[in-house]
Structure 1
Amino acid sequence: MKFIIDDKIPYIKGALEPFGEVVYLSGAKTTAEIVRDADALVTRTRTKCNESVLKGSTVKFIATATIGFDHIDTNYCAETGIQWTNAPGCNSKSVEQYIASTLFVLAEKHNFELNGKTIGVVGVGQVGSKVARFCEIIGMKVLLNDPPRARIEGPEKFVNLKEIQEQSDFITIHVPLNMEGEDATFHLADKNFFANLPKKPFVINSCRGEIIDSTAAKSALANQSINGLILDCWENEPDIDLELLAACDIATPHIAGYSKDGKANGTSMSIQAISKFFGLGIDNWTAPNIELPEQTKIRLDGFKCTEEQILAQAILSTYDIRHDDAALRANTKDFEKLRGDYPVRREFPVFTIETENVPQSTIEKLTQIGFQINTK
């Protein structure tokens, strides 16, 4: 067997070598000629798996180590019998951490408290659900919008997009990119969307760049229809709109889901899927030797601190989004390099918090968020 693997997928080397030839290539070099005699592809979002690449090949299975799969032409795969899989939820905790850092940085920058503010979560899948839960833990009012789930589960716990627009202080979007149909999300945030935001919310996009109309977003910022824009995903990546970047409150190079934990999960799910499809016998394979940050212990002294200050210190000790924002602004031409060389980021459960003068109610919230606690 022959496996073609994106060379930016971590922890995967050695997993498939016992079962055949393994070729590691960048997504840009994964061409029709390269995949012609391959049995399986392991990809990321930068590899377009469509007819022009797959036609005439021996590819039987595609695994993308990502949540999103809009880079796979699923209709063509269905027509030609090529099976495929993605990694749903693999980096959901990483995106939760990204949104948590975003919220506390915005609160500090603009001098407000998050407790009591309203956040609209558009798309309540594995990512949006975790974001919503986190926001509830820290005392925010959460509105949920997810038309496909509302149709299946009933409308009781969901609101429509108009209510999100009217009531939210923050709107965070976590939907797949659907170009057409009842649940089309291409340019979901368009000129009309931005024109109907009476509370002038902060808008956050960490799912797909095409969800937001860049021209409409720039107009909304110029007209002060919104208080700020936070973008991790961009139209036309990696050739992003530098005018839009300059206007953003926070701008990052599509790394919301780039914790080492999220990447390891995506790799593990891909190898497990390939094993099951080809009968390789490594159905429980997991990524080995995930790097740790230099410091996994956080000391919190809550003396004369509000609960929100304590929570902010804990969250930002694990990940401060301002570093990624500064890196992109300083290296706008290195969008892909910033992604490819992304530093070690680990999720909340890796960290142990040593607390002093921290109320039990706050400790309980830190535990719910996922931290390990060591109380003095």
Structure 2
Amino acid sequence: MVIVADENIPLLDSFFDEIGAIRRVSGRELTAAEVRDADVLLVRSVTQVDEALLRGSRVKFVGTATIGTDHVDQRWLQEQGIRFACAPGCNANSVVEYVLSVLSLHAERLDIKDWTDLSVGIVGAGNVGGALWRTLSRLGITVRVCDPFRESEEDSDDFGSLDQALGCDVVSLHTPLTHTGGHPTYHMLDRQRLAGMNENQLLINTSRGEVIDCDALLDRLQASHAPTVVLDVWEHEPEINPRLAQGVWLATPHIAGYSLEGKVQGTEVIYQALSRFLGLPARKQSGQFLPEPPLSKLAFTRSAQARDAADTAIRACYDPRRDDARLRRTLRLPAEERGAAFDRLRRDYPVRREFSSVKIQLKGTSRSLQDQFRVLGFKLKL
């Protein structure tokens, strides 16, 4: 059995070497010729999987180690009898921690002592947005959620319209990219909606670049009273607009979900799906392959202030300013080299571990501080 796989999927050998012969390829540059003799195709979001890629191949199973599926023509796969699997929720926690780190920096920047003074509008409450909603609510932050599909099925006072979500102090986007249906998300934040945002607001996009009309966003950032913007996703990746990147507060190369745990869980999910498809036992789990984290413990004494302690722990695990600096260095390259540099930042991304990999030692600290660390996902040693 031949398995063609994106070279950026972690632990390919650990999970799949007993199933078939693995051939690693560049996901961005994958061609029909490279996949023609494959039985299994494993991709990430940079590969467009459709008739043009797979027509005439012998592929019977396609797996994407990502939560998004807009790069896959699922209808065509189904018509051809090709089994498809994705990894919903695999990196949700990683994206939540990205947003929390951004909020930590934002609160410090504005000298906000208490996160609960902020209101957060979450647009899209699927695996990622839903996880963020739960975490922020447990931290005591006021949340307004826009998700027409969930709202029609659930009863919660947190649901509101898109305009209500866009009126919050912080707006975090977590929608899939859709062009049709009752609630299409392509250019959902258009020129008119962006004009309604002001200098007191923070806009974060970790979903899909095309959810925002980025030409309109660039114009808005150059106008008066513009909001503060954090972009992890971009229109026309990897050829991102350097003027837009220079105009936002934080610019990162589509890595919000790139924690090691998130990436490995994505691999595990498609391994399990392929094992079921082939009728094989799924004996391997991601936990058995995770290495010891470089940072394993932080200690705080009774004199620690809750906000300062949380900021210290969050940024010790992940500080998006490092990724921002790496991306901005690529903007100095000649235009024809920037796309490849963007992809290299993702391919060669340094190991980033989630909060759960760090044990927090608390000596004589308050109950509220203990509860805060638990909500954030750290392990506690009292």
* Letter paired with 1:317: A
Quick check: 1:317 aligned with 2:316?
Answer: yes
Which residue is equivalent to 2:334? Answer: none
Equivalent residue letter for 2:330: N
Pick one of 354, 371, 374 that aligns with 1:347.
354
**Which amino acid is 2:97 matched to?**
Q
**Is residue 11–residue 264 contact of structure 2 (8 Å, CA) maintained in 1?**
yes
| Overall identity of the aligned pairs, in % | 36
**How many angstroms does 1:112 deviate by?**
2.2
1:366 aligns with 2:373: yes
Quick check: 1:85–1:273 contact (8 Å CA) kept in 2?
Answer: yes
Give the letter aligned to residue 250 of structure 2: I
Q: Give the letter for the 2:329 counterpart.
A: A
Paired residues of 2:120 and 2:172 also in contact (CA < 8 A): yes
Q: Which amino acid aligns with 1:340?
A: R
* Offset from partner CA, 1:194-219 (integer Å, 9 cap, x none): 12236742100001111111111112
Measured in 1, the distance between the counterparts of 2:74 and 2:196 equals 35
Residues 260 and 291 of structure 1 are in contact (CA less than 8 Å); yes or no, is this contact kept in structure 2?
no
Change (3 A) 1:13 1:308: same
Deviation at 1:109, TM superposition (A): 2.1
Post-superposition shift, 1:263?
0.5
TM-superposed CA distance for 1:48, in Å, is 1.1
Check 1:285–1:350 CA distance in 2 against 1; reply closer, same or farther (3 A cut). Answer: closer
Q: For residues 311 and 55 of structure 1, do their structure 2 counterparts lie closer, same or farther at Cα, with a shift above 3 Å needed?
A: same
The DSSP-based 3-state class of the residue aligned with 2:9 is coil
Quote the offset at 1:283 in angstroms.
Answer: 5.9
Alpha-carbon distance in 2 for matches of 1:35, 1:229: 39
User: Counterparts in 2 of 1:1-376, with a 5 A limit?
Assistant: 1-113=1-113, 114-154=115-155, 156-166=157-167, 168-197=168-197, 200-282=200-282, 285-286=285-286, 288-301=288-301, 303=303, 306-332=305-331, 333=338, 334-356=341-363, 358-375=365-382
Gaps of 5+ in 2: 332-337
| Counterpart-to-counterpart distance in 2, 1:23 and 1:161 | 44
In the aligned structure 1, how far is the partner of 2:78 from the partner of 2:314? 43
Alpha-carbon distance, 1:310 to partner? 2.0
Which amino acid in the other structure matches residue 307 of structure 1? A
Q: How many residue pairs end up in the alignment?
A: 373
Q: Which amino acid in 1 is paired with 2:152?
A: R
**RMSD, aligned CA:** 1.8
Cα distance in 1 for residues equivalent to 2:347 and 2:237: 14
Is the 1:267–1:287 contact (alpha carbons within 8 Å) kept by the matching residues of 2? no
Q: Tell me by how many angstroms 1:368 deviates.
A: 2.2
Q: How far does the alpha carbon of each residue in 1:48-82 deviate from its partner, in whole angstroms, 9 at most, with x for none? A: 11111011111111100000111111121122222
Q: Do 2:86 and 2:270's aligned partners in 1 also have CA atoms closer than 8 Å?
A: yes
Distance 1:59 1:77 in 2: 10
Instruction: Measure, in 2, the Cα distance between the counterparts of 1:354 and 1:17.
Output: 40
Distance 1:285 1:353 in 2: 26
The 1-side partners of 2:241 and 2:25 are apart by: 28
CA contact (8 A) 2:61 2:84 kept: yes
Check the 8 A contact 1:11/1:287 in 2, yes or no: no
2:232 & 2:291 partners in 1: Cα distance? Answer: 24
Distance 2:179 2:376 in 1: 34
Deviation, structure 1 residue 364: 1.3
Query: Shift in Å at residue 268 of structure 1?
Result: 0.2
Q: Residue 285 of structure 1: CA displacement?
A: 4.3
Alpha-carbon shift at residue 21 of structure 1 (Å) = 2.6
- Return the alpha-carbon distance in structure 2 between the equivalents of residues 18 and 339 of structure 1: 27
> Secondary structure in 2 aligned to 1:18?
coil
TM-score, length basis structure 1 = 0.94
- Contact 1:231/1:250 (8 A) holds in 2: yes
Structure 1 Cα separation of the partners of residues 4 and 104 of structure 2:
41
| Aligned mates of 1:287, 1:149 — CA distance in 2 | 32
**Cα distance change of structure 1 residues 119 and 28 upon mapping to structure 2, 3 Å threshold:** closer
* TM superposition score normalised by structure 2: 0.92
Q: Distance in 2 between matches of 1:108 and 1:116?
A: 13
Contact map agreement 1:92 1:130 (CA 8 A) in 2: yes
Equivalent position SS for 1:153 = coil
Residue type of the partner of 2:208?
A: R
Q: Is the 8 A contact 2:121 2:143 kept in 1?
A: yes
Displacement after TM superposition at 1:111 (Å):
2.1
CA shift at 1:257, angstroms?
0.3
- Range that drifts further, 144-153 or 14-23: 14-23
Q: Residue deviations 1:274-318, cap 9 Å, x none?
A: 110111222654364323432211122452x54222221121121
- Contiguous gaps of at least 5 residues in structure 1: none
Q: Confirm or deny: 8 A CA contact 2:15 2:284 kept in the other structure.
A: no
More displaced stretch, 190-199 vs 269-278: 190-199
SS in structure 2 of the partner of residue 99 of structure 1: helix
